[in-house]
């Protein structure tokens, strides 16, 4: 009996909200410049937003429907991007045009570049020999090329990123007058303290990840514990920043619902 | 509400009756969500003005753009997406506004993997161009979206920009666009500014293959989550500046003296963060006091 009363009450509240939404829509129409297409987009976006936030109340079919729709959209869009904008636009069309140009006006360096696109296509197709037990070895050629290129580029990337950071980590523990002539003693002391905290953090975190040494010795245990504190503070900073990002997303969605969808607050 | 089952609020089922502290500790989280949402809605109608502090990373980017030469091109690499609009839209607008204000020519780079980002970048830059009386093609250009292909693509990009990009978003060859005149290699670029939320796509293509190799100044605007990963790069000088989250956008808006999306967001954000801090402190006090009460009960028994 109690659950029936709750359902009736919830239904009545929903009806009131619906009536108010319709009245609000007429209010927006009466303001002039009503764009049907834009309003349809905003309604769809608003319903999607409310469906996703409904999970905060509890797991429900409304939420699941939109969750699956979102996953379907993402998967479909991924396929479309790969097919249309990579395989067709960046590989097939330039190669086809190059072959046509070769047969109609002859070979030149630009045409050769396009014709040579057939090679990565063939190399890529060799992946599919993984489905054959007899010719499985052919797919390994593609695997080796991909791996070799990936390792080479990855090494260059890591080297270029990390070396400047390693050299920058060599900081003076006392910023003397000869290093910073324009700064006062207090400012130089502040910089020295920053450098000390930085160097201690770098060394202690490195010690924390030396798992080959005996952790019970004080010479390893003390810096490792300090490193653990540094890591905990860093993770706390990550968590705080994560919260701020999620909060911004909520603020933006509330702004969308109030200002763009319902047109109650200022844009 | 408390007798409804939710996967997020299974603690309330075991909530024992007792002191106020115990009730706080076992409070149904949905009340917190409701209170939190109500507070954000209230701030939607009453935007508190908060003092904005300008971090060093933001000031560095602002100063860099102030010093940029007019004969080179700036690249604004935009990965705006619906999920990061709250933080990164303000960062994009603030920097593009600065570029327009200084009459610096720039190209917007977009990616096929972020189709909504292409729309955002197009709409926002068009609105700002109207505000400053700038013309597409003469003062700025939007390049044809690229498909991310890692370091190999960036190496090719650095040596021959028009050869890799080929056309603008409307299909016009880059060589026919006035703003692209004289732009051939990465040496013709004065700054790369990237707006993104994926740290891998901020660091790998531009730092690993462009900034470290050619020394092109590089700055980024990113979501607050990712900003912690960026600080070592700022310290080493690989990043010339950074706008972190809505606060970064608000700081840049303050430097530009043009309050916008960032300034609006950061006021609400500050109050909401304060609420969460109060909730955490209250929850911890409740836990300690409830434990003490339990210990006293056990001792008495």
Whether residues B165 and B90 share a domain: the answer is: yes
Looking at the predicted structure, is the pLDDT value of residue B9 above 50? Answer: no
Whether residues B150 and B213 share a domain: the answer is: yes
Burial B258-297 (b: 16+ CB within 10 A, else e): eebbbbbbbbbbbebeeeeeeeeeeeeebeebbeeeeeee
Whether residues B21 and B128 share a domain: the answer is: no
At B11, the pLDDT band (50, 70, 90 cuts) reads: very low
- Say if residues B134 and B104 touch (Cβ distance below 8 Å): no
- In B130-159, the residues whose Cβ lies within 8 Å of chain A are 145, 147, 150-152
Best to test chain B binding among A148, A245, A262, A266 (most B CBs inside 10 Å): A245
* CA count, 13 A, side-chain hemisphere, A57: 10
Predicted pLDDT at B143: 95
Which residues of chain B make contact with A255, given a CB cutoff of 8 A? 44, 264
Whether residues B110 and B241 share a domain: the answer is: yes
Looking at the predicted structure, is the pLDDT value of residue B10 above 50? Answer: no
Size of interface A-B (CB pairs under 8 A): 129
Q: What is the least distance, in Å, from the CA of A126 to any CA of chain B?
A: 20
Whether residues B276 and B295 share a domain: the answer is: yes
At B13, the pLDDT band (50, 70, 90 cuts) reads: very low
Residues in chain A: 267
Average pLDDT score over residue span B145-157 = 87
* Sheet arrangement for strand B189-196: B140-142, B106-109, B73-78, B189-196, B218-222, B241-244
Predicted pLDDT at A190: 92
Q: List the CATH number of the domain containing B127.
A: 3.40.50.10160
Q: What is the least distance, in Å, from the CA of B163 to any CA of chain A?
A: 11
- Give the distance from CA B164 to its chain's centroid: 27
- What's the pTM? 0.87
- For residue B274, what are the CA distances in angstroms to A37, B157, B230? 40, 46, 25
Predicted pLDDT at B170: 93
**Does B115 sit within 8 Å of A244, measured CB to CB?**
no
At B1, the pLDDT band (50, 70, 90 cuts) reads: very low
Which residues of chain B make contact with A260, given a CB cutoff of 8 A? none
Conformational region of residue B103, where left means phi above 0, alpha means psi within -120 to 50, and beta covers everything else: left
Which residues of chain A make contact with B6, given a CB cutoff of 8 A? 57-59
* Domains: count for chain B: 2
- Give the distance from CA B163 to its chain's centroid: 30
At B16, the pLDDT band (50, 70, 90 cuts) reads: low
Q: Which of B281, B126, B95 is nearest to B195 (CA)?
A: B95
Distance CA B287, CA B13 (A): 17
Question: Per the domain annotation, does B51 fall within a domain?
Answer: no
Which residues of chain A make contact with B30, given a CB cutoff of 8 A? 56-57
- Say if residues B76 and B219 touch (Cβ distance below 8 Å): no
Whether residues B207 and B273 share a domain: the answer is: no
The answer to whether residue A251 neighbours chain B at the CB level (below 8 Å) is: yes
Residues B164-198 pLDDT 10s: 898 999 999 999 999 999 999 999 999 999 999 88
Question: Per the domain annotation, does B177 fall within a domain?
Answer: yes
Whether residues B129 and B198 share a domain: the answer is: yes
Place of tokens 């060589």: B175
Whether residues B100 and B15 share a domain: the answer is: no
Q: Which residue of B has its CA nearest to A160?
A: B208
Looking at the predicted structure, is the pLDDT value of residue B4 above 50? Answer: no
* Tokens encoding A159: 């080297």
- For residue B194, what are the CA distances in angstroms to A163, B20, B202? 22, 50, 7
Q: What is the least distance, in Å, from the CA of B33 to any CA of chain A?
A: 8
Residues B23-42 pLDDT 10s: 887 888 898 899 989 999 99
Whether residues B107 and B252 share a domain: the answer is: yes
Predicted pLDDT at B197: 87
Conformational region of residue A161, where left means phi above 0, alpha means psi within -120 to 50, and beta covers everything else: alpha
The answer to whether residue B20 neighbours chain A at the CB level (below 8 Å) is: no
Q: Which residue of B has its CA nearest to A113?
A: B163
The answer to whether residue A255 neighbours chain B at the CB level (below 8 Å) is: yes
Q: Which residue of A has its CA nearest to B43?
A: A251
Which residue among A158, A168, A251 sits closest to B86, beta carbon to beta carbon? A251
* Tokens encoding A85: 């904008």
The answer to whether residue B33 neighbours chain A at the CB level (below 8 Å) is: yes
Range of the domain at B166: 56-259
The answer to whether residue B100 neighbours chain A at the CB level (below 8 Å) is: no
**Does A160 sit within 8 Å of B269, measured CB to CB?**
no
**Does A157 sit within 8 Å of B208, measured CB to CB?**
yes
Q: What is the least distance, in Å, from the CA of B6 to any CA of chain A?
A: 5
- In A94-133, the residues whose Cβ lies within 8 Å of chain B are none
The set of residues, in sequence order, having a beta carbon less than 8 Å from that of B14 and lying 6+ positions away, is: B26
Question: Per the domain annotation, does B166 fall within a domain?
Answer: yes
* Tokens encoding A5: 């009363």
Question: Per the domain annotation, does B4 fall within a domain?
Answer: no
Q: Which residue of B has its CA nearest to A60?
A: B6
**Does B235 sit within 8 Å of A168, measured CB to CB?**
yes
Q: Which residue of A has its CA nearest to B89?
A: A252
Question: Per the domain annotation, does B2 fall within a domain?
Answer: no
**Does A161 sit within 8 Å of B207, measured CB to CB?**
yes
Question: Per the domain annotation, does B191 fall within a domain?
Answer: yes
- In A150-169, the residues whose Cβ lies within 8 Å of chain B are 153-154, 156-158, 160-161, 164-165, 167-168
- Say if residues B138 and B178 touch (Cβ distance below 8 Å): yes
Whether residues B151 and B230 share a domain: the answer is: yes
- In A5-44, the residues whose Cβ lies within 8 Å of chain B are none
**Does A160 sit within 8 Å of B5, measured CB to CB?**
no
Predicted pLDDT at B3: 43
Per-domain residue ranges of chain A: 175-267
Question: Per the domain annotation, does B5 fall within a domain?
Answer: no
Whether residues B35 and B150 share a domain: the answer is: no
Interface predicted TM-score (ipTM) of this complex, two decimals: 0.85
pLDDT in single tens digits along all 267 residues of chain A: 678 888 899 899 999 999 999 999 999 999 888 889 999 999 999 999 999 999 998 899 999 999 999 999 989 988 998 898 888 988 999 999 999 999 999 999 889 999 999 999 999 999 999 999 999 999 999 999 999 999 999 999 999 989 998 998 888 999 888 888 888 889 999 999 999 999 999 999 999 988 887 778 888 889 999 999 999 999 999 999 999 999 999 999 999 999 999 998 876
Distance CA A26, CA A19 (A): 11
Whether residues B129 and B223 share a domain: the answer is: yes
Q: Which residue of B has its CA nearest to A234?
A: B228
């Amino acid at each position: 009996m109690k659950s029936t009363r709750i359902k009736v009450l919830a239904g009545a509240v929903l009806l009131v909200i619906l009536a108010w939404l319709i009245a609000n829509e007429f209010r927006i129409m009466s303001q002039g410049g009503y764009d049907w297409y834009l309003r349809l987009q905003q309604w769809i976006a608003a319903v999607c937003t409310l469906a996703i936030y409904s999970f905060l109340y509890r797991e429900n079919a409304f939420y699941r429907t939109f969750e699956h729709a979102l996953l379907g959209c993402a998967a479909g869009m991924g396929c479309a991007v790969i097919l249309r904008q990579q395989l067709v636009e960046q590989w097939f069309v330039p190669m086809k045009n190059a072959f046509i140009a070769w047969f109609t006006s002859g070979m030149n360096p630009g045409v050769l570049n396009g014709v040579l696109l057939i090679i990565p296509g063939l190399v890529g197709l060799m992946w599919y020999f993984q489905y054959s037990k007899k010719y499985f070895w052919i797919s390994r050629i593609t695997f080796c090329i991909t791996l070799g290129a990936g390792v080479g580029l990855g090494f260059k990337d890591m080297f270029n990123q990390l070396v400047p950071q390693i050299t920058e980590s060599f900081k003076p523990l006392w910023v003397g007058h000869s290093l910073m002539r324009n700064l006062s003693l207090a400012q130089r002391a502040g910089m020295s303290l920053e450098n000390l905290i930085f160097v201690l953090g770098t060394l202690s975190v490195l010690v924390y990840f030396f798992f080959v040494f005996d952790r019970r010795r004080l010479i390893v245990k003390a810096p490792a514990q300090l490193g653990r504190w540094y890591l905990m503070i860093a993770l706390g900073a990550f968590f705080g920043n994560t919260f701020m990002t999620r909060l911004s997303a909520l603020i933006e969605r509330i702004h969308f619902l109030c200002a763009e969808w319902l047109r109650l607050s200022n844009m | 509400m408390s007798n409804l089952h939710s996967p997020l609020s299974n603690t309330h089922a075991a909530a024992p009756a007792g002191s106020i502290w115990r009730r706080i500790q076992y409070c149904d989280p949905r009340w917190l969500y409701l209170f939190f949402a109500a507070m954000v809605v209230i701030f939607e109608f009453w935007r508190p003005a908060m003092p904005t502090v300008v971090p060093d990373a933001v000031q560095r980017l602002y100063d860099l753009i102030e010093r940029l030469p007019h004969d080179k091109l700036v690249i604004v690499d935009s990965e705006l997406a619906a999920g990061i609009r709250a933080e990164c839209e303000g960062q994009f607008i603030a920097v593009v506004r600065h570029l327009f204000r200084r009459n610096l020519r720039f190209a917007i780079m977009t990616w096929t993997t972020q189709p909504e980002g292409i729309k955002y970048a197009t709409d926002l830059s068009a609105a700002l161009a109207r505000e400053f009386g700038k013309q597409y093609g003469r003062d700025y250009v939007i390049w044809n979206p690229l498909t991310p292909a890692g370091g190999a693509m960036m190496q090719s990009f650095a040596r021959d920009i028009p050869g890799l990009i080929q056309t603008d978003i409307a299909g016009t060859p880059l060589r026919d666009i006035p703003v692209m005149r004289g732009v051939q290699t990465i040496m013709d670029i004065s700054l790369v500014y990237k707006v993104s939320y994926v740290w891998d796509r901020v660091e790998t293509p531009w730092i690993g293959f462009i900034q470290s190799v050619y020394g092109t100044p590089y700055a980024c605007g990113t979501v607050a989550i990712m900003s912690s990963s960026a600080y070592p790069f700022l310290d080493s000088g690989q990043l010339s500046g950074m706008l972190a989250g809505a606060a970064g956008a608000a700081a840049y808006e303050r430097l530009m003296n043009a309050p916008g999306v960032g300034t609006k967001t950061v006021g609400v954000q500050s109050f909401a963060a304060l609420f969460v801090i109060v909730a955490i402190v209250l929850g911890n006090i409740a836990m300690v006091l409830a434990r003490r009460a339990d210990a006293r009960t056990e001792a008495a028994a």
